[in-house]
Structure 1
């Protein structure tokens, strides 16, 4: 993100901001209900004989981070570290791509714009195999940005394409590689013989490596269609991903629109044409995706960040001030809401909100947690000092926005990490189960959802078996109150294990007579 060997105080501060954004929420909590927990269970299955349950690049990297961090972190935290590694790589490659296109200052502008995207916040802190595609695509875009100025940058194009295929994004790799055909038709800078030759060599190298990997997959008796995620592209045309970008890519997309409007008479220049073409081709590809989900759209943020970083540097004063004050007011309001909820949880004031939290099953409502108070206060003071001391610069609007996102995210975990774990994790429910079922006993399950059952088995250490008539225990998930399924006379109710006021996470444990 910078070229000088000696870091300036500003660069050190920006690096610290990136580090806080990356590390907060990445470790220290159990796998949560939803994508985080489901991806963790897929990773466990991949290590237990289903290697294609998770794409190879993420599977191998997560295994490495889990092993390296095993002396200090739990298994699920170590696996989640892989997502942080890939997000960090994507930030670095995006910054370098922006510098190659728009000069030194554009690197930080693009990186901060990407880091501030609303859709990256949660998905970038989960166990998320799509972060590997995110980083590999950023490497490809860096190669595409660098080749017109320095043809030796084709290594990034080819290497990124191979890694993207290894991450389960073969279709995305093919689409981005097709820009080598399209860009020379539209941009004179891409018609130079040296540029075209280098680009083709990069694509050829990436294709050869991908072919070798597919040969190895086939020799292992594994499904090529699964390795390439081919079934994903068998859906009907959908507008899900274009509709997602409205909030998912904020504030990158307004800045990108401004950059394209400002340079509308220079649209053939690679700095505008390449990311725009990449975005349009990816949107066209994703319109045929049979599977939707926010995590699958992360790659779309990359070309928008490249365009948005360029737009930020030329943003007019009125628009820059509007974005800055919108960020200050929005995140100030959200911080106030979080502190009110903290007061209700720890102090019991306001009483009505505290009563509601108690009904939701929050433990220890009314008990002051000094560490949460201290951390939250320190984060809030740091945010205020940052706003007061921040000097005017072209980066300031997005810097305030991204710092605000980081502040709210950090404040949320400082004040509520324990209650969040209790509310959206399964460690507490698993502990209740472990108190009822002796160690080593198997538990037959009926109607238990895959994620709930898998995470409860992981946390409790009990052996869950979906269909095993020999188990002395039976766990049944009840989805609606009062709708207990019929069981044979061999079973007697033993205990209820439930998340308070949650429709789905309600379990009945039976013991065999």
Structure 2
């Protein structure tokens, strides 16, 4: 495949771009409703007592071990949620490193940055990579396995990468994905001649043997600790299925893996007559295997789709260097216009939020629960202007190279993310977290007293307990306080006259969950 000289691009600037993508959004906000709050609750339960992760979560322990470590290391300066969320950043960084190494092994040294930028440019990774997300551990482990597969012909050391990646994948809850990668390793020699050399065979034996040995040790440990295998290996994903879901992941990849998938399709099409090369067979085989496997997933979701981005990013890196000039320019200008328009929209919303103009939009933001509308925030303005100016300077100075379309796309998407965090992280935190409801509980319920809950879901109850510092329990019959949750347009349940309502409210702008606080008469 044609190659380019990526070394001419400033390496430090590319590293800074990766850091600018990774860091904003990881810290500075409370656990948000959804996946971020769900994984935080699991971690918090783990830290409440000396229990194994499998007893509080269907997700195996690797992510929670790392999140506990990052939270402990950063506890002097960061909150528990912010410190734990750094684990996602570490796993994303690990995946970027190994996907670049894999691309170098498959396509040459020049392709490393192309694969990393293509992966960072995938739209599905942006939000999922900045929240507490146990799937990022599988994401990193899969990248290591892919590197081990790609470098098998290079010698025994690559076998350790394959076996180590499979071991990490087992700890991350991807037993099926680990088996798939090992099966693919055994099948590659049937298709590719380079995998039939003595060095490749030795590496394969080391990799598969190491993975099987670790799997046996892990099984022994689980048996001695009486931990259910269905949780330790995340088998409920496959055993609880009520049917096949073959269309879910292909259906979301259109936006989730953009713009990696068009580049991947172009790479496969261009090499259709000479497809029996590691650069095509390995990522395409992994992608098809994962799509087949995930068709049996009982609970398909965006989080699990992260692993699919890895083979697509590799194929996309191969296709990037062979794009025709017209297609490359189209991708570049589409990115500039799309993200430029989004930036304009964000600034209009900032004007409505901080300046109260236009008035109708400001009123709409107030109705949606955004707090502080009409109050100017100088630091947010200064940071937003600095980020916007940096993006304009970047566009003016970026040089011509085969990486340019993807570099502009990824840098522009990073700019939008940083601008969003600069202008709206604080209002969004108030809107998406349970801090405001917890403050109401803390203001009304004395610290020494408990709150009995009724119809309050587990995640909400634990987040309210964490933020308020009060003990909330559904079975705490002796409490003087009662908290009731109603959803959507659900009627408030009949409460005995022995209880007097003290407060009623919800998260700012939330119309789905409403809370009612009572005190015993």
Of 50, 53, 64, the match for 1:51: 53
Residue 152 of structure 2 is aligned to residue 147 of structure 1: yes
Aligned counterpart, 1:336? 344
* Shift in Å, 1:480: 3.6
SS of equivalent residue, structure 2 residue 484:
strand
When the two structures are superposed, what TM-score results if normalisation uses the length of structure 2?
0.95
The runs of 4+ residues in structure 1 deviating greater than 6 Å are none
Counterpart CA distance in 2 for 1:73 and 1:308 is 37
Aligned counterpart, 2:519? 511
Question: Contact 1:493–1:511 (CA<8 Å) still a contact in 2?
Answer: yes
* Shift in Å, 1:499: 2.6
SS of equivalent residue, structure 2 residue 303:
helix
* Structure 2 unaligned spans of 5+: 1-6
* Shift in Å, 1:193: 3.1
* Shift in Å, 1:194: 2.6
Residue 393 of structure 2 is aligned to residue 385 of structure 1: yes
* Shift in Å, 1:332: 0.3
Q: Deviations over 1:384-431 (max 9, x none)?
A: 000000000110101111011100000001000111001111112111
Residue 220 of structure 2 is aligned to residue 218 of structure 1: no
Residue 416 of structure 2 is aligned to residue 408 of structure 1: yes
When the two structures are superposed, what TM-score results if normalisation uses the length of structure 1?
0.97
Residue 480 of structure 2 is aligned to residue 472 of structure 1: yes
SS of equivalent residue, structure 1 residue 280:
helix
Aligned counterpart, 2:86? 81
Aligned counterpart, 2:30? 30
SS of equivalent residue, structure 1 residue 295:
coil
Q: For 1:269-348, list aligned pairs within 5 A.
A: 269-348=277-356
SS of equivalent residue, structure 2 residue 159:
helix
SS of equivalent residue, structure 2 residue 10:
helix
Question: Contact 1:433–1:497 (CA<8 Å) still a contact in 2?
Answer: no
Counterpart CA distance in 2 for 1:179 and 1:11 is 34
Counterpart CA distance in 2 for 1:8 and 1:266 is 30
Question: Contact 1:237–1:289 (CA<8 Å) still a contact in 2?
Answer: yes
Aligned counterpart, 1:3? none
Counterpart CA distance in 1 for 2:372 and 2:71 is 32
Of 375, 381, 391, the match for 2:383: 375
Q: For 1:202-241, list aligned pairs within 5 A.
A: 202-234=207-239, 235=241, 236-238=243-245, 239-241=247-249
Aligned counterpart, 1:39? 39
Counterpart CA distance in 2 for 1:23 and 1:493 is 43
Residue 510 of structure 2 is aligned to residue 502 of structure 1: yes
Question: Contact 2:339–2:413 (CA<8 Å) still a contact in 1?
Answer: yes
Aligned counterpart, 1:363? 371
Of 263, 266, 290, the match for 2:271: 263
SS of equivalent residue, structure 1 residue 105:
helix
CA RMSD of aligned residues (A): 1.3
Counterpart CA distance in 2 for 1:121 and 1:226 is 28
Stretch moving more, 226-235 or 383-392: 226-235
Question: Contact 1:180–1:196 (CA<8 Å) still a contact in 2?
Answer: no
Residue 206 of structure 2 is aligned to residue 201 of structure 1: yes
* Structure 1 unaligned spans of 5+: 1-6
Question: Contact 1:380–1:407 (CA<8 Å) still a contact in 2?
Answer: yes
Counterpart CA distance in 1 for 2:26 and 2:515 is 29
Counterpart CA distance in 2 for 1:50 and 1:162 is 18
Question: Contact 2:432–2:507 (CA<8 Å) still a contact in 1?
Answer: no
Aligned counterpart, 1:456? 464
Question: Contact 2:244–2:295 (CA<8 Å) still a contact in 1?
Answer: yes
Question: Contact 2:164–2:211 (CA<8 Å) still a contact in 1?
Answer: yes
Residue 10 of structure 2 is aligned to residue 10 of structure 1: yes
Q: For 1:105-144, list aligned pairs within 5 A.
A: 105-144=110-149
Stretch moving more, 187-196 or 90-99: 187-196
Question: Contact 1:496–1:509 (CA<8 Å) still a contact in 2?
Answer: yes
Aligned length: 507
Residue 175 of structure 2 is aligned to residue 173 of structure 1: no
Aligned counterpart, 2:193? 188
